[in-house]
Structure 1
Amino acid sequence: MQGVPSAIPREAWFKSSYSGAGTTECVEAAHADECTGVRDSKCPHGVILAFSQAAWSSFIGGIRGGGLG
């Protein structure tokens, strides 16, 4: 993991399209130049996990390919 950029703009954060209404288990992600940040949507000022673009792409590729289920 890499360091999180000092300020990811508020508008950069988004919830997964799979996060439905009424559910409380949601994460948000934001893409920055240096990394992709992931945080708990219920605690936006809390801990942010930061992943390199290569690690994030690998993770998403694994999900799309069915290799992480």
Structure 2
Amino acid sequence: MTIEANLRLMFSAKAVSRGGVVRRSVVWADEQIGRDRLIREVQARGFHMIRCGGQYVVICNRGFIEVVC
């Protein structure tokens, strides 16, 4: 699968349209998309991304985020 196809698949998830979260394995994302490319795509959409353990968590909402604890 191409990088573009992987990005389309990732950002077409129902959670994206609902302002939810999408998570992907760091290993998978780095190999299939590339960290820098994924960051650019998340930023272009105005979303936020964090890394927690072995997962990238994309918060599909343009609003303010606050890490509570």
TM-score, structure 1 normalization = 0.30
Structure with more contact order per residue of length (Cα contacts < 8 Å, sep ≥ 6) = 2
TM-score, structure 2 normalization = 0.30
Name the larger-Rg structure: 1
